[in-house]
Structure 1
């Protein structure tokens, strides 16, 4: 199938009754979805929301959420999906201020979904927004087509309160997506199963792409491995995106649908090679891993490539350049340094520097494949990151975090279905190799350490009682 542009309005014209989004007992066809998106845009214009303004929303993932996303993309608004638990935090509303949000759209009229501090902008329910515009004369858009809408995301918050990342508004109007065969989406494909929150680019991106290409999106609002497999089989899903915790849970439980997926996207955090090999055995050679930031997806790697380059997150996407530097000097293949990216012109504003620091460290091999070791920092913190990388390579480890460079603590998650070799001697040997003292080792069952909504281990949550676990191999 040759790449071609497609969008939900094209699907609504050719197959108006085709299912677009399903979440529990809520279902929209493509005609209903695009009709609501256009009505929401009309209601925003009637309310006086200017072209290009940024909205935020905590509407639960489902048909109404995707209608608002499409309204923003097609009609030239910015949209910041934000988890209700974030707006309920004392500092949560500041994220909306940082993103210049002018209106918060929620599922319940008059108040956001979670109680918390007041938001720094007006709040309105999506139903109230539509009702307020009912009967009012339509407000035509500007003569010139609006620039494409854009999405705003928050960082994952592994070490503290997430930060808003305002992505550059594209200069060209929205035209849909270029449908590519490798993403297994389109009118001739089954649904995309969405098993994660929508508040991050990594989880929303694959679902939104599938929807734009003509696939239905099936939302799993209540997570369990058994329910995941049941939904996938019931709707004959062809694609899915799995965050680190979801992938770990499915591998640990050994749960896969009876009908194989065509593609399993995963990313968001380093995937230990042992866990990935187990996932390949469970789902087949269909894993498609990505690496990126809240600004953009940067690299991708197929299963076949990964088996040739175990541990890699792939090569840069077209138009993106990855540089590994130390002290401002580009490093040769194999040398570890800070990972910087040169974004495509469409992904950065005129005032933005061409090279963006990811905050990660890693190396490129001779073939241009990127390997991510950990977070950048001081030389001592870099040694800690290398130790953390080494721990992930140990047999039976499903995830790991090392905190504290002077007196490190090593938190190790491991599977429970097979004997787990004592990792302490290997961890201590690796620490010595990197010039670190012997760390305190805390073992935990796979998936039991505190996580962010995007599925990463929440490092800040390991500094208190939430991080308590079993010390040593016992």
Structure 2
């Protein structure tokens, strides 16, 4: 199929009654979704919210949330989705200040909560302001999304994606992404607060697919929704992929593509998922600014553990002390962005990811972990190698008291799990690291962020208080 440009307003003109977003008992057609997006835009203009300003929202994932996302993209605003519980904390309110939020949009008026650093309106109040307001005759430059980092290693920080310099046009519909007006729905089973989880769903919606939202996670409910709606695509964070693998559950209706990303996925889990779903897994690696690499199932099976090659126009460089390293050597992963992703068009922007890894001879990227110092690189390598052990479903290695490594190891409940202690101690010795403490835990029992990553900030406290498990 030759790629083509598509957008929800085109779907609304050609098939206005086609379902756009379904969440529990809520449903919007494409006609209703785009009409609501335009009304929200008029409401923002009627309030005098300037072009390019950032608005935040804690509206739950569903039809109204996606209408607001389309409002931002088409009508030239920034949208910052934030968990409502975070707004009760000083951190959440500080994030709104850091993005200079001009307005916070909520589903229901907040009562008795802390004051926010910007005006607050309900979605209904904002829509009511649309009466008599008009939109600019000349379309503005497209809007953008703003996300907070996951906060796995510390406090979350807001990251604004580069605003496009041209009006909104939609997305390029590409066969490998399994979306389009002639495709079945996309099943969204993760929160909206991160690009990795929202991105595939928002892409599918713009391409013409229905988005079905699973608000309460369980493997059984995921399978039931996929079969009921005959979903053609889905996004799963690695922890939820692990849940499905351990439950041995897959829909009878086969997906065209299952996206995963946002955290490292142990090769054993991914192989099991390929056996469960078929050769349809599509992995991506990126930051809160955007996707950097992607890899399909066939390419991954040839290079297990790789996160793929960079997207067109993106250049990956592996460096040490500022100098490029040859293929196969591990160093810092630096990204030279495409011109379209640069805040200053002519700048040669370099994105320091904070991750370390290496490229093979064909340009495929292998990510080891997050690190800066030589000691941190060895610790990241230990964590990476632990994920390769049979039965391991996730791992995190942190420094405990007296710089002693503490290895948190999640494992499945199947027969493939073997005692990892001898292998971990041997690897630590090879990497010239002290003998580690090893904390074993069942899959899904360690603290995680809403996007499915192990929450290192919480694990750091456990590392300082957990007794040695190997004594």
Q: With the length of structure 1 as denominator, give the TM-score of the two structures.
A: 0.96
Q: What SS is found at the alignment partner of 1:51?
A: coil
Contact conserved, 1:150 with 1:168, CA < 8 A, in 2? yes
Matched, 1:455 2:449: no
Contact conserved, 1:444 with 1:469, CA < 8 A, in 2? no
Structure 1 residues 473, 214: closer, same or farther in 2, change over 3 A? farther
Matched, 1:387 2:388: no
Moved more, 118-127 or 290-299: 118-127
Q: Structure 2 CA distance, aligned partners of 1:231 and 1:471? A: 43
Q: What SS is found at the alignment partner of 1:362?
A: strand
Q: What SS is found at the alignment partner of 2:124?
A: helix
Q: Quote how far apart the aligned CAs of 1:379 are.
A: 1.1
Q: Quote how far apart the aligned CAs of 1:36 are.
A: 0.2
Counterpart selection for 2:409 from 408, 412, 437: 412
Q: Structure 1 CA distance, aligned partners of 2:363 and 2:467? A: 40
Instruction: Indicate the residue corresponding to 2:354 in structure 1.
Output: 359
Counterpart selection for 1:371 from 360, 366, 371: 366
Q: Quote how far apart the aligned CAs of 1:252 are.
A: 1.3
Instruction: Indicate the residue corresponding to 1:49 in structure 2.
Output: 49
Instruction: Indicate the residue corresponding to 1:67 in structure 2.
Output: 67
Cα deviation code 1:294-323 (max 9, x no counterpart): 001000000000000000000000011111
Q: Structure 2 CA distance, aligned partners of 1:259 and 1:469? A: 45
Q: Structure 1 CA distance, aligned partners of 2:262 and 2:144? A: 21
User: Which 5+ residue runs of structure 1 have no aligned equivalent?
Assistant: none
Q: Quote how far apart the aligned CAs of 1:100 are.
A: 1.4
Q: Structure 2 CA distance, aligned partners of 1:187 and 1:88? A: 40
Counterpart selection for 2:286 from 273, 279, 292: 292
Cα deviation code 1:255-295 (max 9, x no counterpart): 11111111000001111111111111111100000000000
Q: Quote how far apart the aligned CAs of 1:469 are.
A: 7.9
Instruction: Indicate the residue corresponding to 1:280 in structure 2.
Output: 274
1:25-424 matches, cutoff 5 A = 25-109=25-109, 111=110, 116-133=113-130, 136-141=131-136, 143-350=137-344, 354-404=349-399, 406-424=403-421
- The CA RMSD measured in Å over matched residues stands at 1.7
Q: How many residues align?
A: 468
Moved over 6 A (4+): 466-471
Q: What SS is found at the alignment partner of 1:92?
A: helix
Q: Quote how far apart the aligned CAs of 1:465 are.
A: 5.2
Q: Quote how far apart the aligned CAs of 1:140 are.
A: 3.4
Q: Quote how far apart the aligned CAs of 1:56 are.
A: 0.5
Contact conserved, 1:450 with 1:466, CA < 8 A, in 2? no
Q: What SS is found at the alignment partner of 1:16?
A: coil
Q: With the length of structure 2 as denominator, give the TM-score of the two structures.
A: 0.96
User: Which 5+ residue runs of structure 2 have no aligned equivalent?
Assistant: none
Cα deviation code 1:154-203 (max 9, x no counterpart): 10110122100011111010000010000011111100000000111111
Contact conserved, 1:99 with 1:164, CA < 8 A, in 2? yes
Q: Structure 1 CA distance, aligned partners of 2:41 and 2:380? A: 46
Q: Structure 2 CA distance, aligned partners of 1:353 and 1:102? A: 31
Q: What SS is found at the alignment partner of 1:121?
A: coil
Cα deviation code 1:87-140 (max 9, x no counterpart): 22222111111111110011113x28xx7532110111001111233xx32323
Q: Structure 2 CA distance, aligned partners of 1:467 and 1:273? A: 29
